[in-house]
Each structure stands twice: as structure tokens, then as C-alpha cells.
Amino acid sequence: MAEHGSIFRAMLQEFDEAARLLNLDPGIWKILTHPKRQIIVSCPVQMDNGEIEVFTGYRVQYSITLGPAKGGIRYHPDVTLDEVTALAAWMTWKCAVAHIPFGGGKGGVVCDPTRMSRRELEALTRRYVAEIVDAIGPEKDVPAPDVNTNDQVMAWVMDTYSMHVGHTSTAVVTGKPLELGGSVGRREATGRGVMIATREAARHLGRDLAGASIAIQGFGNVGSVSADLLAKAGAKIVGITDHRGGAYHARGLDIPKLLEHAQAHKTVDGFPGGEPLTNEQLFALDVDVLIPAALENQITIENASTINARIVIEAANGPVTPEANNILHQRGVFVVPDILANSGGVTVSYFEWVQDRYGYFWDESDVNARLEKKMYEAFHDVLQTSLKYKVDMRTAAYIVAISRVGTVTQLRGMYA
């Protein structure tokens, strides 16, 4: 994992450029570049061998100006306060771009979940939630799954919070199992949003998604759903890589068979329906669209000049460094930034929160139709801002987000 202090500085660098173009009030500038609240907790847990381990947990509420903080909880040995703060800031801008009434938050626990039993993970989750219970809630801060957490962990979060407040509170967390108030369409939401962003970017550039050649880095939930939906829309997925290898076919990979292969082997490597492919080769493919859907800092100043795609869709968080983004922009590559391209997930998380609070649940076609509308509007809000200010889509997305959060900050005024 990249050193997240540098990622936070990169975020501030992008923020500053957009803030200057907006002539943002200096006072509002200061407010929006500082997290509202950073919480550090110690979580003692009795392990299966009887020994006590103390884990460090974080929860950062970067902004609650537009509504409750929103953001995932990750379990990873490399979690730091800087990382969580940077991710909470990104969630602030992502929710503002998506035009949903949430602020930005993020949580994390320093641990290695691959070396912990189910009982230990449950005990850790419950203790972590107990330590931050006063800071979260349906109208305060709404967590969700992130790296190494899932719907089961969210069920434990919901149950622990509910035990503390004395009643069942499904709206305290999103990404839950359907049986506990989760939303249909949530698993596919980020990938579906990526598909919509890709389609609209192609349309803007006068291209049709049907027949377009696409390369995707990453075949986890987001990458695999994106590939499946784009293929169903008529696109030709010519290359896919993951952490172990990749597959290439000039006429397009058979995505249903690749999904079966990945399910059986936990990797796309060795897929018999394509030639082996490395990440370096994938990035250099002459394709219409490149979709980095894996980790941050994948397209850098070192390899940006080798990118031959006409469009880059950031399905992952921070896959293109600021320096690389400038190179791509100068070369005429149309980059759709992460805070727009992968906002489908948080949008349907918002839908889940709404349904929980309303006590009435929509069918999947309704969820998908509402997501389509929100993603379409968000894309074109950013596109029109890009054309108005004559800037790239990333700067435009920050302009949209900062304008919305800054305007509400000014309207609400200073509490003293």
C-alpha cells in the first residue's frame, strides 16, 4: 500500500487547484482542508489462545456539513491515521459530486484479518464499535464495508450498535445482508456506475460503447461486474489482469467463461480463452478505454507516456497520480476521476440508508433506474463544469464538490 501521507497531500494539491479557480473564501478553504474529528481507540480482544491483544482503531469524520459522515471500515496491517483521513476526505468530495446528503468519513483497525479466526474478528468488530458507539448513528456517521470487511462484519456492527441503543437500528450501517435491511443492487452498484460513466464518456467523444475495445486492471467485485456489464452492453473486453496474471484476446474475452474461471481458480491467470498478459502490457494496449480497478498509484509519471487508451475510467481509488494525470491530459486522454467514476457504490449505499429509514424496500429495477439517473446527472454536472472552466474532469469534479460543500458551509455559518 502506498504511503498515505503523500496521497493526502496529492488530494490537497487537487483541492487547491479547484479552490483557486472558484476564488474560494480563505476561511472556507481552511475549514474544508481540515478533518472535523479524528478518533483513535484501543480495542483489547481476548484471542483464541487466551492471550490479550490490543488493536488500534480509527474513525475520521472529515465533514458532516451536507449530512451524516459516510465511509467504510477497513481491516489491514498498514492502516494509519493519515490513510483514513485521506480516504475520509475523498468520501466528502465523492458524496458531494454524487449530490447525496452525506459528508465524508472512514474507519480502520490495524490488524491482519487473514490470521484471525471468525470469533476473533467478531470480538474485534464489537469492541471497536463499542469504543466509537457515541460517534456513529443513522444521523451522525454511517459506516460500510471496505478492505477486508464484508456484509457479515456490517451485521456485527449493526447488532452491537443496536444493543447499545436498546433497539434495532438497521440504518446505522450500509452494505448489510439483505435479510438485515441491505439493498438489492448494492453488490453490483460500483461496477454499474463504472459502466454508466464509461458509456457517457464514450458518447461525449462521439464513440459508441458497442464494439469499443476495453482493458481492465483488477477482477475483484468492481472489475468483474464492470467487465460483465460492459460486455453485455456490446463492448469488447480485450484484456484483464489481476494480482497473479492476466488474459488477452484481440477479438474480446469470453467474460461469462472468464467469470467461471476466476470463481474456480481465484484468479484470471491461466484462463484458456486468452493469451497471458502482464499489467505493463495491459496499460500499453491500444484500446478505446482503460479501466484501472485495482489499487492506487498504478499510472504514474513513469508509465503515463505508455498509455494508449483514449479514455481512462478510474474505478479504483487514486489509481492515477496527479503528475500522471497532467501527462494524460496534455496527451488528450479523457480521464474520468475516481470521485465520479466509482461513486455508484456510495450512491446505492445512500439508497439503502433511505430504505432502512423509510421501512420500505425497492426492487432491483427501481434501484438500478435511480442509480442510472444519479450517475448520469453527476457525470454531466462535472462535464459541463469541465467545459465551462476549460479544465480536465478531475479538476471539474473537485470544483463541483468544493462548490457544494463550501456553499452549504457558508449558509450554515460559524457556530461560536
For 33-59, what is each residue's pLDDT tens digit?
A: 999 999 999 999 999 999 999 999 999
Q: What is the pTM of this model?
A: 0.93
State the catalytic residue, choosing from 70, 94, 106, 236.
106
So what's the pLDDT on residue 3?
Answer: 41
| pLDDT in the model for residue 5 | 43
Q: Which residues of the chain have pLDDT under 70?
A: 1-6
CA distance 406 to 409: 5
Q: How far is CA 382 from the centre of its chain?
A: 17
The per-residue pLDDT for 416 is 72
Active site residue 106: yes
Encode the chain in three state secondary structure: CCCHHHHHHHHHHHHHHHHHHHCCCHHHHHHHCCCCEEEEEEEEEECCCCCEEEEEEEEEEEECCCCCEEEEEEEECCCCHHHHHHHHHHHHHHHHHHCCCCCEEEEEEECCHHHCCHHHHHHHHHHHHHHHCCCCECCCEEEEECCCCCHHHHHHHHHHHHHHHCCCCHHHCCCCCHHHCCCCCHHHHHHHHHHHHHHHHHHHCCCCCCCCEEEEECCCHHHHHHHHHHHHCCCEEEEEECCCCEEECCCCCCHHHHHHHHHHHCCCCCCCCCEECCHHHHHCCCCCEEEECCCCCCECCCCHHHCCCCEEECCCCCCECHHHHHHHHHCCCEEECHHHHCCHHHHHHHHHHHHHHHCCCCCHHHHHHHHHHHHHHHHHHHHHHHHHHCCCHHHHHHHHHHHHHHHHHHHHCCCC
Q: Letter for the amino acid at 412? A: R
How much is the pLDDT for 382? 98
Choose which CATH entry (3.40.50.800, 3.40.50.10860, 3.30.465.10, 1.20.810.10) describes domain 35-175.
Answer: 3.40.50.10860
pLDDT in the model for residue 392: 95
Fold of the domain spanning 187-341: Rossmann fold (3.40.50)
- How is the chain split into domains, by residue range? 35-175, 187-341
CA contacts within 13 A on the Cβ side of 96 = 29
Phi/psi of residue 128, nearest 5 degrees: -60, -45
CATH topology match: 35-175 vs 187-341: yes
pLDDT tens for each residue of 98-136: 999 999 999 999 999 999 999 999 999 999 999 999 999
> What pLDDT is stored for residue 6 in this prediction?
62
